[in-house]
Structure 1
Amino acid sequence: MKATLRLDKLLAHTGFGTRSEIKQLVKRGAVSVNGRTVKDSGQQVHPERDEIHVDGEPVVYREFVYLMLNKPQGVVSATEDTRDRTVLDLIDSRYAHFDLFPVGRLDKDTEGLLLLTNDGKLAHQLLSPRKHVPKTYYAEVEGAVDESDKAAFARGVTLDDGYVTMPAELVILHRGNPAQSELSRIELTIMEGKFHQVKRMFQSVGKRIVFLKRIAMGPLKLDPNLPAGKYRELTEKERLSLKEHGEYHKS
């Protein structure tokens, strides 16, 4: 973060309006810095040292925001879309000025963990193909998932376009019985993020996913108490673990 920045930029970033609206706040004497009424909205201030108030309300500056969203089905992982609701449509307007974006994507019919932030550096560290950040999914699968599938995934499977995946860890929670239309339940951890990768991996072994949910990304695990469509800010511990993970996996 810069040592100082313009007051109007800081106030705009903390949700007090546009720069023209902030000029009006300053004009009517609503803004003070260290107890003194401000006359110039372009005044330089230090976000961490200066005490800034608007109409007596203390201003708390945050450069970055990190939200854990439990993405529901039917919502797309984008900042805007002309046909479907996006994940940003689920976020309260008080976060609008942070210009959040999803870190990676989940398919429209996939639910689960999605990180929203405005921290581009962290997003790059988590998404870079060279970093191999693990992502874990829970899935319900048509067919009896067995040890042969586990071994195939551990070696890497060939997708429909000829791409051979990196080794993946398959945990079989329950082996389904196709004769009774019983689904298998599994957890799969992959180290990359190709298009529809988990679904295509199961297709390569002759099985079909009917339900898919991401439950972890790196050290970040989906909060089991977070209903689909809801979100919360990361705890300090979660935020630091993500940053440390990104730093550790620097290429």
Structure 2
Amino acid sequence: MSGKERQRLDKILAHMGFGTRKQIKKMIKEKRVTVNGAYAKDSGMQVTPTLDQIIVDDEVVKYREFIYLMMNKPQGVLSATEDHFTETVIDLLEPMHAVFDPFPVGRLDKDTEGLLLLTNDGQLAHQLLSPKKHVPKTYFAMIQGVVTEEDQKAFHKGVYLDDGYLTLPAELKILQSGHQSEIELTIYEGKFHQVKRMFEAIGKKVIFLKRLSMGSLLLDETLEPGEYRELTEEEIGIIHLLT
């Protein structure tokens, strides 16, 4: 639904979260909606949302087709739109954002936290997730076991996962090595449980995992786990460049 096309007034207002079409029809009857300074008389009237000024209860309707959110996904929450038994990332959204029906771009495991992008821009999401794009994703992880330079070399060559798949070369940075090591890992694909399985392939276990970035899009470190915000114009430009 492009903002440059003429559309039904009730469809636009429903898309922007002002209520159901039935509720909007009632609002129009009560003279609570104006278009270009005149009271709307018909919920089915055709307007161009980016050109015509629509006001509801003294609030100017700022139309937008797509929404882009950055979330610091917390542990214990599913990267899904709905689940009958477990809380999902959509359950964390305010109604003003949930009304756009955004969905997570890709998945983070239930026990993984960090950067998660949510949008209703299906074309952008499809391009970001395309295996051909090789969008780099960087993670911070705590590892049970000593991570060594040999592990760095192995990851740089690619390692065989438990199903025989050879990963693309990955960049392993050792922040602290010991019985419990801290690392950053950049991968260029998104196989199921990939980071955990890569470390399992070298005999080690991930005990904490957090995604820090997707391409040049960095997690806002001021966001506590479970918090989110809309992307800035600059950040929206960054994710479009990734595609």
TM-score strictly above 0.5: yes
| 1:191 pairs with 2:188 | yes
Question: Which position in structure 1 is the counterpart of 2:128?
Answer: 126
User: What RMSD over aligned residues (CA atoms) do the two structures have, in Å?
Assistant: 0.9
The percentage of counterpart residues that share the same residue type is 63
Question: Which position in structure 1 is the counterpart of 2:213?
Answer: 216
TM-score (norm: length of structure 1): 0.94
Moved over 6 A (4+): none
TM-score (norm: length of structure 2): 0.97
2:237 corresponds, among 231, 236, 240, to 240
Q: Deviation of residue 188 (structure 1)?
A: 0.4
2:144 corresponds, among 135, 138, 142, to 142
1:67 corresponds, among 43, 66, 69, to 69
Question: Which position in structure 2 is the counterpart of 1:116?
Answer: 118
Q: Deviation of residue 54 (structure 1)?
A: 1.1
3-state secondary structure, aligned to 1:136: strand
Letter in 2 for 1:207: K
- 1:10-29 mapped onto 2 (5 Å cutoff): 10-29=12-31
Distance in 2 (CA, whole Å) between partners of 1:240 and 1:104 is 19
Letter in 2 for 1:97: V
Question: Which position in structure 2 is the counterpart of 1:201?
Answer: 198
Distance in 2 (CA, whole Å) between partners of 1:82 and 1:3 is 38
1:79-109 CA distance string (max 9 Å, x none): 1011110001111112121001000010000
Distance in 2 (CA, whole Å) between partners of 1:57 and 1:225 is 30
1:159-206 CA distance string (max 9 Å, x none): 000000011111111111x3xxxx111000111111110000000001
| 1:54 pairs with 2:51 | no
Letter in 2 for 1:32: T
Letter in 1 for 2:235: E
Structure 2: gaps spanning 5 or more residues:
none
Q: Deviation of residue 6 (structure 1)?
A: 1.3
Q: What is the aligned residue count?
A: 241
Question: Which position in structure 1 is the counterpart of 2:85?
Answer: 83
3-state secondary structure, aligned to 2:41: coil
- 1:145-184 mapped onto 2 (5 Å cutoff): 145-176=147-178, 178=179, 183-184=180-181
Question: Which position in structure 2 is the counterpart of 1:44?
Answer: 46
Distance in 2 (CA, whole Å) between partners of 1:185 and 1:5 is 53
Distance in 2 (CA, whole Å) between partners of 1:82 and 1:110 is 20
3-state secondary structure, aligned to 2:111: coil
Distance in 1 (CA, whole Å) between partners of 2:133 and 2:221 is 27
Letter in 2 for 1:163: Y
